[in-house]
Amino acid sequence: MKNNNKINTRIAPSPTGPLHIGTARTALYNYLYAKKNGGKFFIRIEDTDTKRCKKKFFRNAMDSMHALGIFEDALFVQSKRTEIYKKELKRLIEEGKAYISKEKSKKNDKKFVKVVRFKNHKKIIEFKDTIRGNIKIDTTELGDFVIARSISDPLYHLTVVVDDEDMEITDVIRGDDHISNTPRQILLIEALGYTIPRYTHLPLIISPDGGKLSKRKSDTSILNYIDSGYLAGALLNYLSILGIGETDNTKGQSKDEVKDMKQLIDFFDINKLQKRSATFDNKKLDWFNKQYIKKLSYIDFRKHLSFCLFKKYPLKSIIRKKITTEIFKDLKERYHTFSEMKDAVKIKEYDYLFKSTNKEAEKIPHNKSSKKDALIHLKRLVEIIKDLDTFTVENLKNSIYLYTDKVGVGEVLWPFRYSLSGKERSIDGFLIASLIGKKETIKRLNETIKILEK
């Protein structure tokens, strides 16, 4: 029997595929609820389906949750608990609550198999769900359902019930696709004399187009998100708000604020879980990721970017050591994910720091200026730069701003930066000039002047 003075929760992934967003959110809610109430959180690997379950997915599930900072108080593996299930199966049969049924095999109708069926008394099952309130289900149509393929081969409904009792699970928090499983499990709980847990069935997470997020595709898996450049803390924060409303007892915190695990535990309120499905919004996840990227130190930022670029695009062969700091600052400022940064480096977004790049004549003038105006401004900039004895960002700004104060900032700085980078978006023009040097800066400005003079 369970000690109802404590809270115990569990997550029970089946290792038949990578741990995906939905299961991770469920794991997080179980973890937050247990820890907020001083209870324990367990991980139970449901691997009795030997044909579909694989060790690599077992490892994936554990690595995914640990990467998010979700750590178990104990780990249970169903394949190692067969004797416990056999004992309870035999007890049900001996007490007349289940029976062995000789039936034709589904694979070969000439062969017979002996399955174990639960003797269903066809009653109305009523249970309270935290989100949906009281739920009533008539179990008549369930019939005498199968609970084991044989005495040594138990099925899902029996193993779940036995495990939850053995682990003293007080609260079952899971997806609402399990509501239809609950009546069978309650019938078994009552037959075995166990304690019925409290149920909370979470609405599923849906894609932006309203469809169901696939559990089988790797692009919805936790480790895939991390491998593609999302920070674990950002994923954790975003998952924590999927399907939960604002709480009233969180000292003024908003659910959209960046929080560490302790703050997430304090913020979580199971009574604020919503009935409607939560939409997985990549833009919101990107926003959280951006906040976490901003907080990274230079060393940690470089480490994450190096990991994302991996062997195919090694940092040292792409970015010169003397300018990595400035490029990193730009990447950190402009992009939301490390995968975006990888793409920027991959397509040689920063080539202009190493060589002069092609420029299109129509893009040289500022949107308020003509080609003639741009030509005048660029020629003046060449004169200003030639007169500089010390070529630094500060000296460049001081000298050029004296000119822009008279003719307009955008009209001058746009053709200046575009002449140096050949791109509509790049790091600051003054910074580019200081990095490539006075001689190269004048050379590129003259190249642009020639384009305009044609």
Tokens of 253: 């915190």
| Residue 346 scores a pLDDT above 90 | no
* Alpha-carbon radius of gyration of the chain: 31
Q: What is the pLDDT of residue 307?
A: 74
3-class DSSP string for the chain? CCCCCCCEEEECCCCCCCCEHHHHHHHHHHHHHHHHCCCEEEEEECCCCCCCCCHHHHHHHHHHHHHHCCCCCEEEEHHHCHHHHHHHHHHHHHCCCEEEEEEECCCCCCCEEEEEEECCCCCEEEEEECCCEEEEEECHHHCCCEEEEECCEECHHHHHHHHHHHCCCCEEEEEHHHHHHHHHHHHHHHHHCCCCCEEEEECCEECCCCCECCCCCHHHEHHHHHHCCCCHHHHHHHHHHCCECCCCCCCCCCCCCCCCHHHHHHHCCHHHECCCCEECCHHHHHHHHHHHHHHCCHHHHHHHHHHHHCCCCCHHHHCCHHHHHHHHHHHHHHCCCHHHHHHHHHCCCCHHHCCCCCCCHHHCCCCCCCHHHHHHHHHHHHHHHHCCCCCCHHHHHHHHHHHHHHHCHHHHHHHHHHHHHCCCCCCCHHHHHHHHCHHHHHHHHHHHHHHHHC
Q: Note the pTM of the prediction, 2 decimals.
A: 0.81
Q: What is the pLDDT of residue 313?
A: 44
Tokens of 317: 């062969």
Higher pLDDT, 441 or 367: 441
- 65-89 pLDDT, tens digit each: 999 999 999 999 999 999 999 999 9
Of all residues in the chain, the percent with pLDDT exceeding 90 is 60
CA angle 275, 178, 213 (to 5 degrees): 70
CATH number of the 361-453 domain: 1.10.10.350
| Residue 250 scores a pLDDT above 60 | no
- 325-340 pLDDT, tens digit each: 777 888 888 889 988 8
Q: Give 218-290's CATH code, choosing from 1.10.1160.10, 3.50.50.60, 2.60.40.10, 3.30.420.10.
A: 1.10.1160.10
Q: What is the pLDDT of residue 20?
A: 92
Determine the Cα–Cα distance for residues 436 and 353; give it in Å rounded to an integer. 6
Same fold, 8-206 and 218-290: no
Tokens of 374: 């741009």
Q: What is the pLDDT of residue 48?
A: 84
CA 18 vs CA 4, 64, 320: distances in Å: 34, 9, 38
Determine the Cα–Cα distance for residues 428 and 449; give it in Å rounded to an integer. 20
- How do the domains of the chain map onto residue ranges? 8-206, 218-290, 296-349, 361-453
- 210-233 pLDDT, tens digit each: 777 765 544 789 999 998 889 999
Tokens of 236: 């954790």
Q: Which fold has domain 8-206?
A: Rossmann fold (3.40.50)
Residues 429/413, Cβ–Cβ less than 8 Å: yes
